[in-house]
Structure 1
Amino acid sequence: MPKEDETRDLERAEEYEQTIARATAIGKNKMELSTGLIIAARYADKLRRVALVAFSKMVPKDIIIRDISELNKQLYDVIVNQMKIDKLDVIRILVDAEYDEQNQKLVFSNVRIIRYLTEEQCSKKYEEVNKQLEEYKKKYEELSRQVEEFKEKIRQVEEALKALT
């Protein structure tokens, strides 16, 4: 990472520490990091800054930056390729991070990516689901009709068998 970006992130991290705490202590050397609501395109910067604020007093900055960079690469794959989130979609990332002093490494667990939808996106999804529900209702009615026809045929066959015996 270029030195200029590191300096900018460190300055912003100090600013965040003064104004907005986005990390919650959940144990010794363990924090829950939260990006807050952000557009997806900004998650990497925000997560790095939050980690810098949360761990700057106990973990060397180069370790924080190295390990958060690795996490951000993994998150990119999930956000872009698996979840198909657009860069302007609103998301929140929560992750538990623990500093392993012995291995001098941040260990991440319980990663949660929450995607927020606009009212328009919700309405569109609602219409799609309703349309699918109507199709299922039609299929159900057709299958119910066929079941009744089969029951009637079975009754007729049973009557014919009784008449033969």
Structure 2
Amino acid sequence: MSEAQRDIERAEEYEETTPRTSVLGENKFELSTGLIIAARYADKLRRVALVSLSKMVPRDIIIRDVSEFNKNLYDKIVNQMKIDKLDVIKLVVSVRYDKSQNKLIFEDTKIIRYYTEEECKKQYESVIQENEKLKKEIDEIRKKLSDLLGSVQ
């Protein structure tokens, strides 16, 4: 069974149980993957698009355009944002169907990354350390300023 056929079948299953689409206007929708590991974003986005748009847009166009969009997302997720394949993310994207061009147009892409409690604690500890370092530097500057003002008088 081809990957596209498998996705179509799963999309049909999800249609009843997993609505992740908001209508924004005529031929415009907001798609959301829900929480997923980054490695699965392409499959999930394709399935959500198939469920949401298949009554209005031919499936071959959905598969073609989502595939192209996923290639662009890969660069942003992996190379620009440095998100690991096991990190938890959520994608929210607006998509508009242009009937005259027979094409899906993706806009306003949001990639939301979620952090584990451990990652949050590490970041918090890093901020605390930086804060302590800055306090010491401020104290040193105050002491030097006090010494300078004392020697001027």
Query: TM-score range, shorter-chain basis?
Result: over 0.9
Q: Tell me the CA shift for residue 150 of structure 1.
A: 3.1
Pick from 130, 133, 137: which aligns with 1:139? 137
After superposition, the C-alpha distances for 1:9-55 in whole angstroms (9 at most, x for unaligned) are 10011111111101111111111000000011000000000011111
Q: Tell me the CA shift for residue 70 of structure 1.
A: 1.3
Q: Which runs of 5+ in 2 are unaligned?
A: none
Match of 2:33 in 1: 35
Count residues with an aligned counterpart: 153
Aligned residues: CA RMSD: 1.2
Is the counterpart of residue 102 in structure 1 residue 100 in structure 2? Answer: yes
After superposition, the C-alpha distances for 1:43-91 in whole angstroms (9 at most, x for unaligned) are 0000000011111011111111111111111111111111111111110
Match of 1:59 in 2: 57
- Please tell me the residue identity of whatever aligns with 2:75: D
Query: Taking structure 2 as the reference length, what is the TM-score of the superposition?
Result: 0.95
Match of 1:88 in 2: 86
Match of 2:46 in 1: 48
Pick from 117, 123, 130: which aligns with 2:128? 130
Q: Tell me the CA shift for residue 115 of structure 1.
A: 0.6
Structure-1 separation of matches of 2:109 and 2:146: 51
- Please tell me the residue identity of whatever aligns with 2:70: N
Match of 1:17 in 2: 15
Larger Rg: 1
- Percent identity, please: 59
Q: Tell me the CA shift for residue 147 of structure 1.
A: 2.4
Give SS of 1:26's match: strand
Structure-2 separation of matches of 1:120 and 1:59: 43
Structure-1 separation of matches of 2:54 and 2:130: 51
Q: Tell me the CA shift for residue 152 of structure 1.
A: 3.2
Q: Tell me the CA shift for residue 142 of structure 1.
A: 1.3
Give SS of 2:29's match: strand
Match of 2:71 in 1: 73
After superposition, the C-alpha distances for 1:87-133 in whole angstroms (9 at most, x for unaligned) are 11110000000001111111111100111111111111111111111
Structure-1 separation of matches of 2:126 and 2:76: 25
- Please tell me the residue identity of whatever aligns with 1:63: I
Match of 1:4 in 2: 2
